[in-house]
Structure 1
Amino acid sequence: MNISDATAKDRMTVDGHTLIFDTSAISSDDESNAILRSDANLFGDLIMNNPSVDTVIVSGDGGSLYASYEIARTIMTFDLNVVARGDCESGCAIVFLGGKTRTLEKGARLGFHRSSTEADNHKKHYELRKDKAGWKDEFAYARWTYEDGQIVARDFIAYLIQRGVAVDFALRTLIPSGDDMWYPSIEELAKAGVLTEPE
């Protein structure tokens, strides 16, 4: 078992009809709390192996967009209800929106912001992929990142709309920078269709 597999196991538990996914369960370090690809794999396995689960409780931070969308797809495939506990930010909000019904525990908040990545990550990505991608220099890479950023934003907006979220709310999620977080009120979330009535 590698470190990421161990991390995933430490923050996902099944309790009867409920799967609890708390990315902050093992560390107060933001980087350790990131949603990882290993989380998506374990989440799918747990749902497959626990057919009585009908509700997912989520809390924590963001992380891999790929992994967040993959977990959300599993939630949609199995028609699961989702409840947010505490702060559910960034990628956690993507997971939350996969729910058939979407509700907040008392005191819970959803946090939204524009997708972003650190300069060091850009440097590593450029060095790792420049030959395969055909980037002749950093300026060619900059053009690719500009286009890729637009695709990421488009896909996020499309996902929110697909999940029944109002267009004006979806567009507003792109306003806060990657370093800021927008926490809409319960009234704003309900009006925009982010929250649903429990069945």
Structure 2
Amino acid sequence: MARATRTSQPAPLWGIGAYWRGAYPPWIALIVVLIGGRFAVARLWQVVSPPVPMPLFSMLILADIALAVWQVVGAWRSVSHWVDARARGDVLFAARVAIGAVAVVSATHALDQSARQTMALAPIAHAGPMPLEVRNGIVYLTGDISYDLLARFEATPTQGVSAIDLDSAGGHVFAARALAQRVMRRGLKTRVTKRCYSACTLIFMAGAHRDLGPEGKLGFHGYSLEAYPLPIDIGKEEEIDRAFLRERGVTARFAARVFATPHTDIWRPDRHALTAAGVLRD
């Protein structure tokens, strides 16, 4: 009685399993399936706009990882088979380096997508005051003097800061006093390269060294506190800041002229007068 024999069928040269075994020609495996495929996946991810429901996002990430593993392993095996049979070892090394680079890029891309999803799902936190601009150790304080500007100054890193550049037409007297106290506490120099009027001059006078640029202007006048919700004794408030100017080395005559100027006007003394009165100090 004749014995039945079973003949094995040759493995198919195309298909998912064939690619996994490395049966594809290396130029197809490396360039078309691996590099081209990863590029196509990256383009598809651009269509996805986070946040995505977490179950769906998890499925997409797992599918992407599985596809990337299949692409990388198949290309690696294909190149190894081809080089072992037909080419030199340095070609194998170069091809494997290329495959490794694609694998790293794919892993980085998956992490980036996860980070985007996490950021999109995270609650938006209150960022707090935006720090003032700092360049070359100088803080740039620009705009109306207010408590918002004070908060921004407080939020500004002080490491390596030695001076503050002022550019303001004035603002809130009490906020200016608070800023002046902080400038003195930190021992900052003050400078004006554009303009510093009204309440801004209190901050300028707080500087350990006070400098006025060639185009800089200082402007002084008396107070108008009509906008404040509670009754305020203007004379008393002016006396407080007159004493402050005297403490900072300003002559009594200059301080008197400051508050004798109506709040509807502005007094802009020249550099000679500012230096003689002790306003500018090296």
Q: TM-score, normalised by structure 1?
A: 0.73
In structure 2, the partner of 1:99 is 207
What secondary structure sits across from 1:20 in the alignment?
A: strand
- 1: CA distance between counterparts of 2:149 and 2:170? 12
Residue 174 in 1 paired to residue 282 in 2? Answer: no
In structure 2, the partner of 1:139 is none
Structure 2: gaps (5+ residues): 1-123
Residue 90 in 1 paired to residue 221 in 2? Answer: no
Residue 42 in 1 paired to residue 163 in 2? Answer: no
Q: CA deviation at 1:156?
A: 1.1
Q: TM-score, normalised by structure 2?
A: 0.52
Give the total of aligned pairs.
156
In structure 1, the partner of 2:246 is 161
Structure 2 residue corresponding to 1:14, chosen from 105, 110, 134:
134
Aligned residue type for 2:155: D
What secondary structure sits across from 2:155 in the alignment?
A: helix
Aligned residue type for 1:44: E
- 2: CA distance between counterparts of 1:60 and 1:171? 23
- 2: CA distance between counterparts of 1:75 and 1:93? 12
What secondary structure sits across from 2:207 in the alignment?
A: coil
Q: CA deviation at 1:174?
A: 1.0
* Percent identity (aligned): 26
- 2: CA distance between counterparts of 1:159 and 1:62? 17
What secondary structure sits across from 2:273 in the alignment?
A: helix
Q: CA deviation at 1:16?
A: 2.8
CA RMSD of the aligned region, Å?
Answer: 1.9
Relative contact order: is structure 1 or structure 2 higher (C-alpha 8 Å, sep ≥ 6)?
1
**Equivalent residues of 1:88, 1:111 under 8 A apart:** yes
**Equivalent residues of 2:225, 2:234 under 8 A apart:** no
Q: CA deviation at 1:153?
A: 1.1
What secondary structure sits across from 2:191 in the alignment?
A: strand
Question: Which of the pair has more CA radius of gyration?
Answer: 2
Greater share of residues in strand = 1
- 1: CA distance between counterparts of 2:154 and 2:193? 21
In structure 2, the partner of 1:55 is 163
After superposition, give the CA deviation of every residue in 1:66-102 in whole Å (9 maximum; x if it has no partner): 1101111111001111111211101111111110000
**Equivalent residues of 1:44, 1:71 under 8 A apart:** no
Structure 2 residue corresponding to 1:65, chosen from 149, 173, 182:
173
Residue 79 in 1 paired to residue 199 in 2? Answer: no
- 1: CA distance between counterparts of 2:225 and 2:180? 21
In structure 2, the partner of 1:187 is 272
What secondary structure sits across from 1:40 in the alignment?
A: helix
- 2: CA distance between counterparts of 1:150 and 1:117? 10
After superposition, give the CA deviation of every residue in 1:14-51 in whole Å (9 maximum; x if it has no partner): 1131101111xxxxxxxxxx2111211221221xx231
Greater share of residues in helix = 2
- 2: CA distance between counterparts of 1:181 and 1:169? 14
What secondary structure sits across from 2:237 in the alignment?
A: helix
- 2: CA distance between counterparts of 1:117 and 1:72? 19
